[in-house]
Structure 1
């Protein structure tokens, strides 16, 4: 394996000792740098010219990525990409222009300059808005990478109450980030919500609200022609089966949740007033 392929498999950056253990001698590193195949990020750290990114930044400052900045390393769901780098520097001196997090208490990533998953999630619960932290925890928990019981045990006491509250919104199964967010907003509005309900002639629906309104959350795949046809058939079957149906896309759920909830409430109110009755 050449140096470039080795670095690419490790996120685009590595320490000199890691490269040497893999069989890359100093002369070979020097030749690769001279050829422009790799760059010397700082003393003892090498990376690919265009791929080191925040990983190289972390190594440059002898720190570990954590919180939102570490989400890509663990393939965690996120609402937004990290704008500011989140670091755990391991020393008192904060890195200017970054969000500084506390000590690392759990095993770190095996080869990347990234905090361990447990610390990443705990830092996120303390640092991020509820929904940002929730989707990261939801992703890790439903994959079985971490348990809610473990996280709760690490967040005891009154000072951790806000962080611990995030765990109350994790659901047993979510097929997408949109389901997590929509479920949070519907329940926060005081609605009776059932998820992944199997309806005769329709199949499994994302949400059944107040036992009369079906709500579906549509990701990018629902824009494909084959899926549009399938969704239309399911919508018709839902109405024939005696229930109403609303569909919301990414922009609705992520950027305009208040409008989404208002529309749900409006349909429910009209239903209570008999607006959809034949009489």
Structure 2
């Protein structure tokens, strides 16, 4: 049995019982440990060197990773790396330097020390800023891993009103994190927004705002030369079709949303004043 491959397939960490079920002997474990190919986090828990990370913290304290610390385990969208490890330790006190969440009420991950997807998302909705929990829920919901209705039923009462408000912002389809965030900020600003609108000669655009302004959100792929040429043609076609177009990148949408919204509002105001009428 290739111990390192076994660990890599399990995010770099596993218990002795998992090795035994896979047919690994105590002698082979001891040999790998002596050679420095694996390390012992504590009795009965082994990891690849420097790869245990948050999983090691969870196993070491007999807890489950949850909230944003569990996002990678479920391949959920996130905006930032967690500054602290988010744990659900049950009745135990949280170890120093971690953030504690309540007990989990749904089945955990089948083999990782990670809370179940439902608990991960519920904890994120109660813990994180709205935009950070929104992208996690959006990712899971549009993949079909969970439904917004299910989460809403799990979040009753006044104390969960903020969490339910985030669920109201989940959209049927989003092609990127940027689209989710831009939609959130535009709607919060009170703008009339239509998504994925098909325009003659242009194709599908990300947003049509107030039926006159096209807004596109550009990820890293839009920096590639071929995509730049394609976007330039689409911009020209948009203007020829009688509409203006603004484009915003990752930094605009994620780090400076207030500036993005202000730019959109400024163009709309100029439109209302007739600044773009032909002379």
Q: What TM-score results when the alignment is normalised by the length of structure 2?
A: 0.99
CA distances 1:98-133 after superposition (whole Å, capped 9, x unpaired):
000000100111111000000000000000010000
Query: Aligned partners of 2:36, 2:88: CA distance in 1, in Å?
Result: 31
Shift of 1:159: 1.5
Equivalent position SS for 1:107: coil
CA distances 1:203-257 after superposition (whole Å, capped 9, x unpaired):
0000000000000000000000000000000000000000000000000000111
2:162 alignment partner in structure 1: 162
Equivalent position SS for 2:168: helix
1:64 alignment partner in structure 2: 64
Query: Aligned partners of 1:162, 1:184: CA distance in 2, in Å?
Result: 14
Equivalent position SS for 1:80: coil
Shift of 1:161: 1.1
Structure 2 matches for 1:84-163, cutoff 5 A?
84-163=84-163
Query: Aligned partners of 2:201, 2:114: CA distance in 1, in Å?
Result: 48
CA distances 1:153-186 after superposition (whole Å, capped 9, x unpaired):
1001112111111100000000000000000100
1:247 alignment partner in structure 2: 247
Query: Aligned partners of 1:249, 1:239: CA distance in 2, in Å?
Result: 20
Query: Aligned partners of 1:162, 1:262: CA distance in 2, in Å?
Result: 25
Structure 2 matches for 1:230-269, cutoff 5 A?
230-269=230-269
CA distances 1:251-274 after superposition (whole Å, capped 9, x unpaired):
000011111001100100101111
1:2 alignment partner in structure 2: 2
What is the total number of aligned residue pairs between the two structures?
A: 279
Tell me whether 1:227 sits opposite 2:220 in the alignment.
Answer: no
Moved over 4 A (4+): none
Query: Aligned partners of 1:177, 1:42: CA distance in 2, in Å?
Result: 38
- Gap runs ≥5 in structure 1: none
Query: Aligned partners of 1:223, 1:93: CA distance in 2, in Å?
Result: 47
Shift of 1:51: 1.3
Query: Aligned partners of 2:272, 2:159: CA distance in 1, in Å?
Result: 43
Query: Aligned partners of 1:178, 1:95: CA distance in 2, in Å?
Result: 35
Equivalent position SS for 2:84: coil
2:177 alignment partner in structure 1: 177
1:53 alignment partner in structure 2: 53
Query: Aligned partners of 1:104, 1:28: CA distance in 2, in Å?
Result: 35
Query: Aligned partners of 2:127, 2:150: CA distance in 1, in Å?
Result: 19
Query: Aligned partners of 1:10, 1:132: CA distance in 2, in Å?
Result: 26
Equivalent position SS for 2:76: coil
- Gap runs ≥5 in structure 2: none
1:30 alignment partner in structure 2: 30
Shift of 1:50: 2.1
CA distances 1:137-162 after superposition (whole Å, capped 9, x unpaired):
00000000000110011001112111
Query: Aligned partners of 2:237, 2:163: CA distance in 1, in Å?
Result: 42
